[in-house]
Structure 1
């Protein structure tokens, strides 16, 4: 595959940062995996979380859910009350790839993330590499989110990116599909090792 790629767009959660609500709720439910899975699939769902990622205030999102499920009030409050404990750490293999790409000085490297603007500063304080990007588009600040087309268009315009010259890396296939529909090359992230192999297809060779 030949390409004139000059821009790499990284997702953050699941690609560079290990984030998982199970870290909090497995502990809350005393290691009961089935109960944890049920709670996250039925009460504090990803759809609900993404509403806050799209800019809805955390306090209101929490209140709304408590009103709907009052019997789970303490657990619902735990979601954002213990949010920082959902961060497992950096995905070091991908951080090394990011560092190498930036050091080559051949590529514009930016990030596009679904993240509440209220919790993103916590991640910024914790992870130095978030300061390496030319810029980061945060869904909560833009009041829209992936996989909506407009957040990709915001990213392209803000950083003067031509879609055909860029690659978007994300762990969520639906986001990759939107990127591709706009003309952005997409890589579905699974592991750092596979990411290196995928980047080689675009003539991006890493040591």
Structure 2
């Protein structure tokens, strides 16, 4: 029986498109593409999410790859990008329905600022616990972060389902005994799946 639903954040609870987000920090479309591609590049973002880079170090590395005209823009991007991660339509309502029968948790590769900014993502207000990679210095798909979540909140793997948009992350969860659901952006399909598991009614 499923008693706990674990959600990823980016592209599950909140929409996440680098160029779209960057467009709020520059008026030029080409600069927005460059700012999003470099300023939110996985090679830096992953280290930031893992807690290996502080914000100042991240900005220093990114500025080395950006023209001077975008240095102020990337500073504002680093400070305010989460303001432009719109909620996935229908997800906040689904979380509220899940909460009627189950507990809900977050397991996300994000820098530690997410906890401070979580109130900006409506669905996160209802969560029973958050595990954020930048705080614990572990990242998906490492098995240790899944075990950390289970141990921290006293959860049994077989009583959990994990919703993520990344197949490798789903596979890692399944390797430690957590059922997975690969989210493709279709909230109604996820709702139907949770209905079949009696997670919602």
So what's the TM-score if we normalise by structure 2?
Answer: 0.84
Map Cα deviations across residues 19-62 of structure 1 (whole Å, 9 max, x no partner).
33322333526334xx6556544564123112111112111111
In structure 2, do the counterparts of structure 1 residues 79 and 150 end up closer, same or farther at CA, with 3 Å as the change threshold?
same
Number of positions where the alignment pairs a residue of Structure 1 with one of Structure 2: 197
Tell me the CA shift for residue 197 of structure 1: 2.1
Q: Choose the corresponding residue for 2:44, options 45, 48, 54.
A: 48
Tell me the CA shift for residue 110 of structure 1: 1.4
Distance in 1 separating the partners of 2:170 and 2:196: 17
Unmatched tracts of structure 1, length 5 or more: none
Quote the residue 1:166 is aligned against: 160
Quote the residue 1:141 is aligned against: 135
Distance in 1 separating the partners of 2:111 and 2:118: 11
In structure 2, do the counterparts of structure 1 residues 81 and 171 end up closer, same or farther at CA, with 3 Å as the change threshold?
same
Tell me the CA shift for residue 176 of structure 1: 0.9
Map Cα deviations across residues 80-122 of structure 1 (whole Å, 9 max, x no partner).
044244322x224111111011123xx2221111221124312
Quote the residue 1:197 is aligned against: 192
Residue 109 in structure 1 maps to residue 104 in structure 2: yes
Does the Cα contact within 8 Å between 1:44 and 1:76 map onto a contact in 2?
Answer: no
In structure 2, do the counterparts of structure 1 residues 165 and 85 end up closer, same or farther at CA, with 3 Å as the change threshold?
closer
Distance in 2 separating the partners of 1:133 and 1:84: 18
Q: What is the aligned-residue RMSD (CA, Å)?
A: 2.4
So what's the TM-score if we normalise by structure 1?
Answer: 0.81
User: Which segment drifts farther, 92-101 or 150-159?
Assistant: 92-101
Quote the residue 1:73 is aligned against: 71
SS at match of 2:116: helix
Tell me the CA shift for residue 167 of structure 1: 0.2
Map Cα deviations across residues 129-170 of structure 1 (whole Å, 9 max, x no partner).
423221111111101121221111100111111212210001
